[in-house]
Amino acid sequence: MKLKGMVVMALACAMVFSLVTFGEAAKYEFKLGHAVSDQHPYHLGAQKFKEIVEKETNGEIEISLFPNNQLGTGERDLLEGLQLGTVDLYVGSTGPMGGFEKRFMMFDFPFLFKDKAQAYAVLDGKIGQYVMGLLDRIGITGLAWYENGFRHFTNSKRPVNSPEDVKGLKLRTMENKIHMALWRAMGADPTPMAWGEVFTALQQGTVDGQENPVPIIFVQKVYEVQKHLALTGHVFSPAMIAIAKAKFDALPEGHKEIIRKAAQESALFQREQITKMESEQVAKLKELGMEVTTPDVTPFREATKAVYDEFKSELGDDAKLLDEILSGK
């Protein structure tokens, strides 16, 4: 009887174990990709996001980070990966997004934001949330606004203090028609190119210069192939953490909420990191031999005014939102 009881007990335990095993929540493994170095604030924000999500879901969601274009050849490629399902999560600038959804173009206009405080207020407010929500219709779910920072200009030919100094320079840009138009308005020759190709192009002289925020110029070692940095701040470059809509929709509601909250918390952290880095890195770039100028931006602003006339109509009825941002200055 004692042996029989032990057998019954063993069978009961086995059944309970089996029920627990098959009743466990599904485990989700996500790949997060971005285009730059693991020293960039994008990666720091992604690490914070990963840390929060994995902790709050007790490991039911695992996130692997892939910096340096490991999942694609550039940000446009990564965004297409979100749509195709080859990339689960994206951190990067909104520069290529105007090619997917035109309303994102409103953030690409030159000298739109006077400072970061205004940019944050717009992005975190009704305009930013509205524009982010437009991604759902193209298979992407925006989670939170990160930051890429104000864009500046580097080149290998000469110091830049006015639009006249830009004339004739061949400049790498993103595949973004507003960015291209603003440089064309100053007499430069804009050349769209995936980020993964840029360093070699600068090194070989295929292009004379490029434009990006300071952290990218620093962590991607642009100073090794560019002598001159002009702090023009011609465009504030928003960034975003986003997820493939199909992957997000398949998650339990509790996990969706954790992901959204983690994205918001990591965004605040990422913004703090990039702001801290910017001032430190300008000083380091000078130490590394870059000649840094801080030109009066008024002539640059005047030279690029026509860009508004050229592209504003493409926003359709939402052009009024651009006017609303401009009136906030």
pLDDT tens, residue by residue, 285-323: 999 999 999 999 999 999 999 999 999 999 999 999 999
Percent of the chain with pLDDT over 70: 92
Which DSSP letter does residue 1 get?
A: -
The confidence band for 329, taking pLDDT boundaries of 50, 70 and 90, is: low
pLDDT at 29: 97
Give the pair of three-digit tokens for residue 107: 């953030």
Q: Which two tokens stand for residue 316?
A: 């359709």
Contact between residue 96 and residue 76 where contact means Cβ atoms under 8 Å apart: yes
Asked whether the predicted pLDDT for residue 204 surpasses 70, the reply is yes
Residue 244 has pLDDT above 50, yes or no: yes
Q: Kindly state the average pLDDT of the residues 152-169.
A: 98
Q: What is the pLDDT of residue 18?
A: 41
Dihedral over alpha carbons 220, 223, 229, 232 (to 10 degrees): 0
Q: At residue 269, what is the residue type?
A: F
For 247, the token pair is 């992957």
Task: With cut-offs at 50, 70 and 90, classify the pLDDT of residue 328.
Answer: confident
Angle formed at CA 293 by CA 178 and CA 34, multiple of 5 degrees: 50
pLDDT of 111 > 70? The answer is yes
Does residue 17 register a pLDDT over 80? no
**What is the Cα 84 distance to its own chain's centre?**
19
Indicate whether 25 pLDDT > 90. Answer: no
The strands making up 228-230's β-sheet, listed across from edge to edge, are 189-192, 170-173, 209-212, 152-155, 228-230, 291-293
pLDDT bin (cut points 50, 70, 90) of residue 24 is low
CATH number, domain 28-327, options 3.30.450.20, 3.40.190.170, 3.30.420.10, 3.10.180.10: 3.40.190.170
Task: Give the model confidence (pLDDT) of 253-276 as tens digits.
Answer: 999 999 999 999 999 999 999 999
Task: Provide the pLDDT for residue 8.
Answer: 43
Instruction: With a cut of 90, say whether residue 137 has pLDDT above it.
Output: yes
Under 8 Å CB-to-CB from 252, ≥6 apart: which residues? 25
Model confidence at 2, pLDDT cuts 50, 70, 90, reads: very low
Inform me whether the pLDDT recorded for 83 exceeds 80. Answer: yes
Average pLDDT, the chain: 93
What distance in Å separates the CA atoms of residue 191 and residue 18, rounded to the nearest whole number? 61
CB neighbours (10 Å) of residue 74?
A: 20
Rounded mean pLDDT, 190-205:
95
Mean pLDDT over 146-154 rounds to 98
Would you say residue 213 has pLDDT above 90?
yes
Distance CA 291, CA 268 (A): 32
Please provide the distance, in angstroms rounded to a whole number, between the alpha carbons at the two ends of the chain: 87
Does residue 1 surpass a pLDDT of 80? no
